[in-house]
Structure 1
Amino acid sequence: MTDLLVDTIVFEILTRVTTKDVGRSKSVCKEWYVLLSRQDFLRVHCSHSLISSNQQVHLIDDLTCSVHPIVFQSYDYGLSSIATFLFDHQNNDVSILSHLNGLLCVYLNHTYELLLWNLTTTAFKRLSTLDSHGFYRNNLDVVGLYIDADDDYKVLHIKPRCGVLGVYVYSREVDYWRNIPFITRQEYLSPHFDWPAGTFSGGTLYFTVCECWFGGRNVVICFNVNSEQFKEIGFPPVPSTGMVHGVLVNVKK
């Protein structure tokens, strides 16, 4: 099969099929598996999927996750379906921390475990390890989901524990946690500061950090996902009489 024919099939046809069909197509041959796993294919496939008939809302309620297609013409929802949980969980147990390209990073409230969960295929990956990696503490920890230059999905996990700081990166490709340094002001990791989940854009994770106890500083902490370096930039100049809980949104034209 010529390169031109392969490119036509992959980028002109397979970018327009469903996610499940893309998953099945990966088993055709090794060449297709590599092409369909590339970030440029995923971007084109997502752009073709961004039409009204493909928009859905996923609601996690008690022991089920319901999927509601959006009907934009009537500003209403279509007939719902139920997504299956393939992992053990309890009532009101699953909390979504971050998401990227349809992949969710969630944690289980009763075990504190972190999971990567694909709602389309219902596949999941448990991130907890015997040496205490992959466990999340609500109102203490910070999580961000991103893709690096090698198209590897990764999780950044910041863990303040009784004055001891741990910053860890999980790689889905190698299935391994490792520690990285946090080179900025250590005070930002105290309980006085509130961190939301990271927003990924242009090779950087952004966190809006607010000094919530004393109503003081607001900063944006940036994490370069390729150099794995942190830096601080100024908060946007918005009117404020105290605490400002900013939310960053990645907007594409």
Structure 2
Amino acid sequence: MEHLEFQMFANEILSRLPTKCVARLRCVSKQWRYELSSHLFAIIHYRRTAKYEDRKLITLTKSSIDLHNLISGKVDISSRKIISFPVDTCLSNLTILASEYGLLLIFIHWLPNELILWNPTTNQFLNLCDKKPKFFFDLKKDAVGIYIDSSNDVKILLLQCRKDDVVPRVYSRNTCEWKTLTLLKGPDYGSSLYWLSSGTLCNNVLYFPSPHYWTPAKSYTIAFDVDSETFSKVSIPQCTDVIGRQSSFFKIRNTLHMFIFGNTPEKK
């Protein structure tokens, strides 16, 4: 009963405090450290503090990871603070793949290849690789997306393309385990998918665009419903007034961007 009462106190009261105050309160006792370091508290705290005008911007360069304050939508240059990455590697080997609720999904390429889930606020991280690094993630072939389900569990969707086959896998932060899902039936997606970027989350759906540079008419998008954990195929509206393959490619990309965010391209 005492545990539940303190948990309610932490989630309802302490979650409204600034991040620095929460960090100090973790030193009060083991119980405080446990509750204030829990995944549920982190989600609640982020959702409440994200409403404030003062937010943070992280920039990754070859020499440093910089943290700036965002005040009323503008970067405060004077607030620059250099933070360290918890894994010993050259910063030029890091690529930010996705982000959600203050968590960053980082790819470390070269040797070894690793996929890292990192919380810059607490500097805690998880290495998501459960296989040999060189067989786990391929930046040129695979795609990833990050989301939070209805139970407040942080999940990572990984689409691994191996030998003309795409294997979708989902990682759960709560269970620290991967599970394999089933992709759509039909064509050979492994030999036809060309990922444009990591997944874009909108209205509990992750979208993965698959543009065909040489044949724009064959371009489409793979949609993943995070609630039902099922896939669907979405056609991309075609542009008929485009001259040149390169222009067509960029028009499809821009059309897809507007489509994902609920806007309809104007007809000419």
TM norm structure 1: 0.79
Query: Aligned partners of 2:226, 2:40: CA distance in 1, in Å?
Result: 18
Cα distance, 1:187 vs structure 2: 4.0
> Structure 1 residues 9, 98: CA separation in 2 closer, same or farther (over 3 Å shift)?
closer
Counterpart position of 2:172: 171
Within a 5 Å distance, the mapping from 1:66-85 to structure 2 comes to 66-72=66-72, 76-85=76-85
Are 1:162 and 2:163 counterparts? Answer: yes
Any idea what SS the aligned residue of 1:182 has?
Answer: coil
Contact 1:127 1:133 in 2 (8 A): no
Counterpart position of 1:190: 191
Contact 2:163 2:190 in 1 (8 A): no
Counterpart position of 1:33: 35
Query: Aligned partners of 2:6, 2:149: CA distance in 1, in Å?
Result: 29
Query: Aligned partners of 1:176, 1:127: CA distance in 2, in Å?
Result: 9
The residue type equivalent to 1:107 in the other structure is: F
Contact 1:114 1:134 in 2 (8 A): no
The residue type equivalent to 2:96 in the other structure is: I
Cα distance, 1:154 vs structure 2: 1.1
Contact 2:58 2:68 in 1 (8 A): yes
Any idea what SS the aligned residue of 1:96 has?
Answer: strand
Counterpart position of 1:60: 60
**Larger deviation, residues 222-231 vs 69-78:** 69-78
> Structure 1 residues 250, 171: CA separation in 2 closer, same or farther (over 3 Å shift)?
farther
- Percentage of pairs with the same residue: 24
> Structure 1 residues 165, 152: CA separation in 2 closer, same or farther (over 3 Å shift)?
same
Counterpart position of 2:200: 199
Counterpart position of 1:247: 257
Query: Aligned partners of 1:208, 1:120: CA distance in 2, in Å?
Result: 31
Contact 1:203 1:224 in 2 (8 A): yes
Query: Aligned partners of 1:100, 1:240: CA distance in 2, in Å?
Result: 37
Within a 5 Å distance, the mapping from 1:1-253 to structure 2 comes to 10-11=11-12, 13-22=13-22, 29=31, 33=35, 37-38=39-40, 42=43, 45-52=46-53, 54-72=54-72, 76-110=76-110, 111-130=112-131, 135-190=136-191, 193-235=194-236, 241=242, 242-243=248-249, 244-245=252-253, 246-247=256-257
> Structure 1 residues 183, 24: CA separation in 2 closer, same or farther (over 3 Å shift)?
farther
Any idea what SS the aligned residue of 1:143 has?
Answer: strand
Query: Aligned partners of 1:126, 1:100: CA distance in 2, in Å?
Result: 17
Which 5+ residue runs of structure 2 have no aligned equivalent? 243-247, 263-268
Contact 1:71 1:78 in 2 (8 A): no
Query: Aligned partners of 1:104, 1:134: CA distance in 2, in Å?
Result: 22
Query: Aligned partners of 1:173, 1:5: CA distance in 2, in Å?
Result: 21
The residue type equivalent to 2:106 in the other structure is: V
Query: Aligned partners of 1:114, 1:120: CA distance in 2, in Å?
Result: 19
> Structure 1 residues 46, 134: CA separation in 2 closer, same or farther (over 3 Å shift)?
farther
Aligned residues between the structures: 247
Any idea what SS the aligned residue of 1:62 has?
Answer: coil
> Structure 1 residues 161, 78: CA separation in 2 closer, same or farther (over 3 Å shift)?
same
Query: Aligned partners of 2:127, 2:51: CA distance in 1, in Å?
Result: 29
Cα distance, 1:227 vs structure 2: 2.2
> Structure 1 residues 6, 178: CA separation in 2 closer, same or farther (over 3 Å shift)?
closer
Query: Aligned partners of 2:91, 2:118: CA distance in 1, in Å?
Result: 18
Cα distance, 1:102 vs structure 2: 0.5
TM norm structure 2: 0.75
Query: Aligned partners of 2:178, 2:7: CA distance in 1, in Å?
Result: 36
